[in-house]
Structure 1
Amino acid sequence: MDLEKTIKLRKPVTIAEQVYDQLTLEEPTAGQIEKASAAGNGMGVVINLIAAVAKVPRAVVERLCQRDFKEAGDFLQQFNAVDLTTGETSSQS
């Protein structure tokens, strides 16, 4: 299991003249999972979690192409932090 991953974005995202061309992800913390879960639905939870872990504005994640979004979500899912289909957090111990 890889504990960190840098994703070079296929389609860089520009917000307020800041260009985001990669995301650096790592295992999420309990606090990041809790805050992301506040979104309430599956897609919102995943968007919040990617933004928190990558330390980028939520708007960056909202503008990711599908392939980049899926790659980031798949990486985070390996930690069983969040079920990408429901947004449910894992009760794994």
Structure 2
Amino acid sequence: MENLKDEFEEGLKEVEEFIDEKTIFLRKPVTIGGVTYDKLDLKEPEMHQVEKAALAQTEVGMAISLISQVAKVPLAVIKKLCQRDFKEAANFLGSISDDGQKTGETLSQS
């Protein structure tokens, strides 16, 4: 019973710490068509954005599409991101879609 209480309190703590918006300052800014992008303003995606991104052929393609839509920047910008910037953006959006669960975690069923 004590374990259940601890899990509940930990879950409440995670909900309180949930962040649904984030600005990522790019380690390597991207210039497309004379415009330089040095940051991505991300937020929780809307379902129409998730649906459109789901049409991509690969998980990476899905992440590229979703980041582009949410940050309101051209696809070409996201395709030119360095791997660390791309991963940071994808991980942020992934943390929203999995309701704050870390990879490999499962909710215990009692």
Common topology (TM > 0.5): yes
* 2:20 and 2:96 in contact (8 A); partners too: no
Structure 1 alignment gaps of length 5 or more: 82-93
Amino acid corresponding to residue 75 of structure 1 in structure 2:
F
| Runs of 4+ more than 4 Å apart | none
TM-score (norm 1): 0.84
- Superposition deviation, residue 69 in structure 1: 0.3
Residue 67 of structure 2 aligns with which residue? 50
Q: Does 1:62 align with 2:79?
A: yes
**TM-aligned CA deviation for residue 48 of structure 1:** 0.2
Unmatched segments (≥5 aa) in structure 2:
1-17, 99-110
Q: Relative contact order, CA 8 A, sep 6+: which one is greater? A: 1
Name which one, 1 or 2, has greater alpha-carbon Rg: 2
- TM-score computed with the length of structure 2 as normaliser: 0.72
C-alpha distance in structure 1 between counterparts of 2:51 and 2:82, whole Å: 25
Match of 1:76 in 2: 93
The number of residues matched between the two structures is 81
SS class of match (1:78): helix
Correspondence 1:5 to 2:15: no
Alpha-carbon displacement from aligned partner over 1:44-71 (angstroms, at most 9, x marks no partner): 0000000000000000000000110000
Please state which structure has a larger fraction of its residues in helix.
2
